[in-house]
Amino acid sequence: MNKDITKQLEKLSRYSIVDKKWITSNKRRLVAYMDQHPKSPHLIRSRYLFRLAPAFLVALLIVVTSGVTFASQYSIPGDFLYAWKVGVVENVESMFVIGVQSRANFEVELTTKRLQEMTELTVSKTANPVIVQKARERLQNQITVASTTIAAAASQDTGKALETAVKLEAALNAHQNVLTTIQEKVSEEAHSQVQDTLSTLQDTADDIHDAIETLKVQNEQSWVLTKTEADLKIEAENKLKSTQEQLDAMWNTMVTIEHTSDLSLEAEQNLEAAQEALTNAELLLEAEVYSDALLEIQSATQLISKTKALFTATQESGTIVKEILDVTPTPSPTINPTPTPPATNSLPINM
Amino acid sequence: MVIDTATFEKIYDDFAPKIFKFCYFRVSSKEEAEDIASLVFIRAWDHIAVGKEVTNVQGFLYRIANNLVIDFYRKNKDKRELSIDDPVNPIDVPDKADFVEQLDQRMLVQEIQGKLERLQDNYRDVIVMKYINDLSIKEIAEVLETSENNISVRLHRAIEKLKTLT
């Protein structure tokens, strides 16, 4: 009998041993209880709301952070949102930068932002001298970081590192040009503030220029040492085509701008010189002197970069800078106008 | 799972006999088992009525039933200890299962009940759930909130113990 205990138990599982009267009477009592204690619709709603709450919070957080991030885009040192811009937005962006070359480009973009802020601060009448000094130091640090990452990128690809270095130099030169123009238009008392910033830029510009010259030599050496004539021909043809496209795009952008300042005139002259260099490159390609053609293309690229940087420095600057430069901001398909800071902050302009 | 009154009535129809059976073989008294089983559904409705979620209805009901049986054991601790001390002449005499209409079924119920009475509680609960209520090892583990391995081992020992009982 004991051996069959599991069979007995299983047999028992098939029996319904419940008292059916109890089942019926208990159900009546249960239904009555349920009527007295109904399920609360309010609680149901609350429960669903509670479940949706995290989604609402996340959506709200995204909206708020997106708004703050957008608003902080044009902030300068001393502004309330500036800490968010450099402490949060740029750090988050930095996390998504992968590769030495991309890192170098990213650091140059940051340098361009710091330069833009520095120019804005320099012409701001209300800027705190301590904040201006800190901004200069931050700019110097950023330029050092950008130069270091470009040097690291050069160990992998000299040509690309050279392009990035050219962009960095172009940005520096553009702001030097803008500040030099401003310096001529502001009063004597504001003169020294602009001069201090210009001195900061000059210190680093010389180093970057030297680095570019070194990279150019290395790049030329790499053509001779690592590439055949056929390789150089293909490279020259491809670069000629892409550089011509960049130049055409810049011309199209220039058409939308009113040429009222010396800087826009300079930009136009740069583009004309770039076109001349590309025409030379085309002739050299036909003559099968590929390395010289590449040098001409390099020269055109440098001029286009300078123009782009000048364009950015003037058209993307705040209204105060534009007023001083006498640049009429005109919306273009590629560049958005910047928000307007209060006009009272500007430095006194010599009339 | 959203449970309204109609759904809960259907749940009662499906599970009331099973929950009663579970309670009956745990407490050995028709009246006590009916009271506990009634309370299981009241507690379940209270839980649902305040908007709390139920993902596994079967596991949920058996868990309430198991907790109520444990409460019952605690309340009747003194009486049960006396009964265990003297298994030949227990004070808490097992139910005669008079409500079971068919004689062969009644005899089997009485025989099994008599043996289960002599098993320790942690063996008895797994035997009832596995063989009388036909729950899987996984389902038992969920009700008792322990591992499946633990249940398997406990079940094996319980069967071995049950086989030794005359």
Sort out which chain B residues have CB atoms less than 8 A from A34's CB and list them: 5, 8, 45, 49
Residue of B nearest to A24 (CA): B13
pLDDT at site B37: 93
User: What CATH number matches the domain at B95-166, 2.130.10.10, 1.10.3720.10, 3.60.15.10, 1.10.10.10?
Assistant: 1.10.10.10
- Cβ neighbors of A137 (< 8 A, separation 6 or more) are none
Instruction: Provide Rg for chain B, Cα atoms.
Output: 16
The model's pTM is: 0.51
**With the C-alpha atoms ordered A53, A55, A56, A57, is the resulting torsion angle positive or negative?**
positive
Q: Which residue has the higher pLDDT, B1 or A249?
A: A249
Under an 8 A CB cutoff, do B4 and A43 touch? no
Instruction: Give the pLDDT band of residue B61 (cuts 50, 70, 90).
Output: very high
> Residue A154, by phi and psi: left (phi above 0), alpha (psi -120 to 50) or beta?
alpha
Is A13 in the B-facing interface, judged by CB distances under 8 Å?
A: yes
A53 to chain B nearest CA, in Å? Answer: 16
Q: For residue A9, give the nearest of B8, B30, B131 by CB distance.
A: B131
Q: Residues 39 to 78 of A: which have CB under 8 A from any B CB?
A: 39-40, 43-44, 46-47
Q: Which H or E element spans position B79?
A: helix B77-85
Q: Can you tell me the distance from the alpha carbon of B53 to that of A47, in angstroms, rounded to the nearest whole number?
A: 9
Residue of B nearest to A17 (CA): B100
Collapse the DSSP code of A346 into the 3-class scheme (helix H, G, I; strand E, B; otherwise coil) and give the result: strand
| pLDDT tens readout for residues B147-160 | 999 999 999 999 88
Under an 8 A CB cutoff, do A22 and B41 touch? no
pLDDT at site B8: 92
Tokens of A219: 């790049």
Sort out which chain A residues have CB atoms less than 8 A from B133's CB and list them: 13
Residue of B nearest to A13 (CA): B132
- Interface mutation vs chain B, best among A2, A9, A37, most B CBs within 10 Å: A9
Q: Where are the domains of chain B?
A: 1-79, 95-166
> Residue A104, by phi and psi: left (phi above 0), alpha (psi -120 to 50) or beta?
alpha
Residue of B nearest to A35 (CA): B5
Least Cα distance to A327 among A251, A250, A253, A261 occurs for A261
Could you count the other beta carbons within 10 Å of the beta carbon of residue A127?
A: 19
Q: What is the mean pLDDT of each run of 10 residues along chain A (351 residues)?
A: 71 82 90 82 55 73 76 79 84 84 90 88 79 85 86 84 91 87 75 82 84 86 80 89 90 70 78 91 89 90 88 74 59 40 40 33
Collapse the DSSP code of A186 into the 3-class scheme (helix H, G, I; strand E, B; otherwise coil) and give the result: strand
Sort out which chain B residues have CB atoms less than 8 A from A39's CB and list them: 4-5, 48-49, 51
pLDDT at site A261: 66
Domain B1-79 belongs to what topology?
A: Rna Polymerase Sigma Factor; Chain: A (1.10.1740)
